[in-house]
Amino acid sequence: MTNVSIIGIGCTAVNEHWDTSIRHLAWYAIEAALDDADISKVDALYVGNMLAGQLSAQNHLGALVADFAGLRGIEAVTVEAADASGGAALRQAVLAVQSGLVETALVVGVEKMTDQTGSPITAALATGLDADYEAMQGLTAAGAGALLMRRYMHEYGVSVPDFAGFSVNAHANGADNPLAMFRNRLKAEAFAKASPIATPVSLFDAAPAGDGAAAVIVVNSEKAMDMSPQPIRILGSVLATDTLALHDRKNPLWLGAAERSTQKAMVMAGVTPDDIDLFELHDAFTVLAALSLEAAGFAAPGEGWQLARDGQIGRNGRIPISTFGGLKARGNPGGATGMYQIVEVARQLRGQAEACQVPDAKIGMAQNLGGTGATAVTHILGI
């Protein structure tokens, strides 16, 4: 268990925010988190971001966001691990507070993909893959998802409609989340007929890119008891890595970093998969949802999709996932996604999830992946 707790949370809606700059997005989430914690100062800021350099011609977000959010002068850096940047930024804040050298840490995940003048988004997102051995050969993020899905279908004898349950569940939950990018419900029949993006990945397998920011404030757990009526404890916090290139892995269908980060986080937290009341996983593609459930020990290899088929991933199922819509329906704002997962788990544990509430949630897990699982950041939160 760490000695760190969350005392404030906040986020913007995920959407195409055409009229909002990256610094404004970050500020809105930070303002909400500061208000929620009822504080106005912090000692350090960790910004999780992947693409501002390419898409906004803006690096150096740490100092920029600190200043724009009214926190001029504080310690502030950007943490990057592709689309796992959000989770990775929280991990740095946990280390900082645990060290005793930083008292109050603010973490914001932020990404701005709409109304950009830099690289095309597809090329920018491919910088999370291996540039020399994958992206330069033409592989894109969706292409990598397609390779994984095709291989999964081949190895385990399943077909495209078998993945439908993940997107149906995500959209059902997203429909209940006012901050979700897509609030339409989805039927399995529509899933089966969706337009292809990179076959077999279709429009309804792939999570949409969006703009957004999500923030939390962490302090040590003793202090949190004094400062917050409902502190959320960070029971486990582990970041692990794997090869960037899929072809370098012995078994491309096994998310080794996700497995190791989950196992270590569970040991740290003193829990088993049975103790987890909800799991915000990284469903950038339906196949990644299946593989994440398998790597985390909720299903045997090749059987993750059956949890979706059998209705076990819904709010009242064995392991609720994507409870606010997940990447698929809430939207996937790149380096901000990991922080949305944390905010959402915290809302569940506080009992503030409203229509998305998982009954009696006490322990929640969030897992943020970078690339095709080359980085996996697992946080286990509890009350």
Contact residues for its own copies (CB under 8 A)?
2, 21, 23, 50-51, 53-54, 56-64, 66-67, 72-82, 88, 91-92, 94-96, 98-102, 123-124, 126-132, 135-136, 237-244, 248, 256-257, 260, 370-371, 374-375
Burial of 140 (0-12, 13-18, 19+ CB in 10 A): middle
Residue 96, SS3? helix
Using the minimum distance from each CB to its own copies, give the nearer residue, 30 or 96. 96
State the minimum distance, in angstroms, from the CB of residue 59 to its own copies: 4
What backbone phi and psi angles, to 5 degrees, belong to 54?
-80, -45
> CB of residue 120 vs its own copies: minimum separation in angstroms?
12
State the minimum distance, in angstroms, from the CB of residue 122 to its own copies.
Answer: 12
For residue 380, CA distances in Å to 208, 238, 307 come to 26, 9, 21
Residue 106 Cβ vs its own copies, minimum distance, rounded to whole Å: 13
Q: Which is nearer to its own copies, 244 or 356 (CB)?
A: 244
Residue 143 Cβ vs its own copies, minimum distance, rounded to whole Å: 15
Helices 85-99, 337-350: inter-axial angle, 10-degree rounding? 60
- Min dist CB 349 to its own copies, Å, is 22
Beta carbon nearer to its own copies, 91 or 315 = 91
Q: How far apart are CA 40 and CA 341, in angstroms?
A: 24
Q: Is the Cβ of residue 4 or residue 214 nearer to its own copies in the bound state?
A: 4
- Specify whether the CB–CB gap between 95 and 349 falls below 8 A: no
Q: Based on CB atoms, which residue is closest to its own copies, 130 or 280?
A: 130
Quick one: which of 282, 261, 263, 284 has its CA closest to 341? 282
| Count of CB atoms situated within 10 Å of the CB of 353 | 22
